[in-house]
Structures are given as structure tokens and as C-alpha cells.
Structure 1
Amino acid sequence: MTTTYLQPGDRVLLTGDSITEWGRDHDQPDSPWGLGHGYAGIVAALAGARRPDLGLTFHNRGVGGDTTRMLRDRWHPDALALEPTVVSVLVGVNDTWRRFGSGDVTTTAEYEEHYRAILDAARERLDPRFVLVEPFVLPVPPVSPAWREDLDPRIHVVRRLAAEYDAVLVPADGLFAAAASRTAPERWAFDGVHPTPAGHGLLAEAWLAAVGLAAR
């Protein structure tokens, strides 16, 4: 069997904003419908198909519109209470979006403070393994060059935290940039932020490759 970051019986939490939420049923969060039809659902489907022997359980707790502060505010009921053994986080683009959409500014330092707080709380309570996914944008309106300037420092925060917390890093920003260089960026994220079905597939495959479950 291929060596993987995941272990038998792992409970995997995927959380963050709307990119993770993507169609999940909030009323039946732990049913098959609770995984949604974005990258989180694809990850669960393919991981289960490729390694049924691991007996993995997946939970999706993405919430549309969430910033790092909002994720921190709900961290106990939506993360720690589930007692995951693996915690996957994708958050940050709304910290940028809200700056330009509503003037609600989260500085890079505040972003790191909130992100670090959720990782520390999980480590102290559960000591899980972490998968950190870079936030990303593509040059499709309403995304502008100013968004990129705001988001880039947050991406560097995630990379630094991944090294510090011995986490698996999913290099999503570079992945989407490379994909968009081969075709129109709208093919991967229809508004520069939210992935198309192809974009969700791309992200899911990158997540699986990062944990050692790439297609053979």
C-alpha cells in the first residue's frame, strides 16, 4: 500500500469558507449530503474509493463568507467538539474580499493571530495533524491587482504556519495560477474566487496528492 499522511480510522475535518462549504446540507451535516459537492466532497469520495481499508470519516464545516475571525469564533462547536484527528483549513480570501467589498479590514497581523489561535486550540485540545490550504485568487472581476497585493502576505502566513506546525501544505495559489496560464482563468474560478467544477476537481486532486493519495 502507498504510504499516506492519513491513518486508519482518521476523522478528517475540512473547514473554512464558501469554497469548502459548497453545497453542503447544514441541517444534516454528518450525512452524505453534509459533504457538499465541491472539493471537500470530492476529497471524501476519492479518498474512500482509493483507500477503503483506512476507514476514514470526513466532516465538512465550511461556512460561506467566513473570515479567520469568524472561523475562530465558531472553532469549538464546529471543530474541537468533533474531535478530528486531521484538521484541514482553507480560509483567507474573505479577509481580503471584505476589505474591498465593505471596508472591513483584517490586517495581515490579525489574520495570523486568528489563524494561529485556531491551530493552537486544536493542538492543545486534540493534537491533530494539520493540512493547510493556501487561499488563492485569479484575475477575474471583481478581483483586481489590489486584491492580489492584499492576499499575497496572507498566503505567506499560511506557508510559514505550515512549516511551524509541521502541517501538510496544499499550494493552491500556485496551482490555480499554473492552470490559468494554460487556459482562461474563468475555467477554474468563475469570479476569481469560487472554483468551477473543474476548479474544485483541481483542488481536490491537489489535496489528495499532498496527503499521499494521488491517483495512480
Structure 2
Amino acid sequence: MPLRVPADSTILFQGDSITDTSRRTQPGDGLGNGYVRMAADLMRERPQPCELTFLNRGVSGNRVADLVARWDEDTIALKPALVSVLIGVNDTWRRYDSGEVTTTADYERDYRGLLSRVRDELGARILLVEPFLVPVEEEQWDWREDLDPRIQVVRRLAEEFDAALLPADGLLNQAAREHGGAPAVAGDGVHPTPLGHAVLARAWAGLVETA
């Protein structure tokens, strides 16, 4: 069942570069040029009146611990009615390119702490986007050993916090099969192409209704 939010709500997107999409360097409204903007446009195109405010606070390179460090300023202080979170692939990526390990237990602890604050301090609705990987290099298949448990954490947290769940990993890998391979959806396996962002945006908008 879709999440229902008042038509004059503030909706906040949190995450890493997949959410950021140059929102801090481009002129304009700060939504970036990826799935956040596309999802906002889809919501605004609906026939029912919509006075939603969309905020993007994704920061390129962030891991879950980075969200913890800026959660007061970039989430709690903004008082959104809906918080959408996509975080986790950098927690995996840094293990393989830098040897910096975020254990699954630490990831789950920090993620649960973020969501607990949203529930307890804001009473906001929550939408969780699975971290995902669409391997384009053979060695990226090895990353799944680290990423797949994080995806399971997000699914458990969605159940625990009665959050909407966007199953991005399966959706994007299926889109890759339908459109000629992984580079069509995520050129480096992590960052979506315009097609990949569109897949995410359509799925995101399908999970949210205004009341």
C-alpha cells in the first residue's frame, strides 16, 4: 500500500551521490539531475492538487556514518513529513577500493538509529531504497558478498519501521537485462544512467500518494 502524505508536505531525500546528482553545484532548486528531480516531477504532474516541497540533502561519497554525523542539521531540523533514504553502496565500495570496512552490524546499528530519530522526533513517514549494484566489471560480482547483507538489513528495517520499500537492486538488474546490459542502467555499476534514474523515479513515485 502506498504511503499517504498531506498534499502540502515536505519530502526529504537523503543519501549519497546517487541522490546528490550535482544538486550542490547546479543552479536552480537544489534537486539535482537524477531520480529525485524525476520523482518530484512525476508527483507534480498528477491531476490532484499538490503543494509538496521537495528537498534533496544527498552528499556524494557518504556512508551511513556520514548520515549520522549530519542528521540533526540535514534531517531533523528540516521537519519533513516523509524521509526517503538510499545509503549503503559506499559502505561496500570503500571496503574494496580503500580497505575501509563498515561491518554489517555497524551499518544496521547506525541505520536503525537514524530511523528511530525520524520516528520518535518527527513522527514522519519513511521510505527506504535498497542499495544496489549492477556489475559491469567481473570483480564487482565479488562485492555482492558485502552488499547483499546490507540489502537484507534495509528490508528488515523497512518491516521494523513500517516503511515503504523500493526494491532497487532487483529493479535495476532486471532493467539491465531488458535494455542490453548493465552499462545501459549504471555505467560504472553504481551510478545510474538517465535510464536507471528513471526506473528509480517511477518506482519511487508509485510508492507515495498525497491526501
TM-score norm. by structure 1 comes to 0.91
- How far is 1:87 from its partner? 0.2
42 and 124 in structure 1: CA distance in 2 versus 1, 3 angstrom threshold:
same
Name 1:9's counterpart in structure 2: 8
Distance 1:144 1:4, change over 3 A: closer
TM-score of the superposition, structure 2-length normalised?
0.93
- 1:172 Cα offset (Å): 0.3
Letter in 1 for 2:202: E
- Runs of 4+ aligned structure 1 residues displaced above 6 Å come to none
Counterpart of 1:151, as a letter, is L
Describe the shift of the 1:142–1:125 C-alpha distance in structure 2 as closer, same or farther (beyond 3 A): farther
Q: Which stretches in structure 1 are left out of the alignment for 5+ residues?
A: none
1:206 is aligned to 2:203 = yes
Report the 3-state secondary structure (helix = DSSP H, G, I; strand = E; otherwise coil) of the residue aligned with 1:87. strand
Match of 1:101 among 87, 97, 101: 97
Change (3 A) 1:157 1:51: farther
Match of 1:196 in 2: 193
Residue 142 of structure 1 contacts residue 192 of structure 1 at CA under 8 Å; is this kept in 2? no
Question: In 2, distance between residues paired with 1:170 and 1:54?
Answer: 22
| Equivalences, count | 208
Report the 3-state secondary structure (helix = DSSP H, G, I; strand = E; otherwise coil) of the residue aligned with 1:62: coil
Percentage of pairs with the same residue: 50
CA distance in 1, matches of 2:87, 2:186: 16
| Change in 2 beyond 3 A, CA 1:109/1:10 | same
Q: 127, 142, 145: which is aligned to 1:149?
A: 145
Shift of 1:49: 1.6
Counterparts of 2:26 and 2:175, CA distance in 1: 35
Amino acid at match of 1:103: G
* Distance of 1:66 and 1:199 partners within structure 2: 20
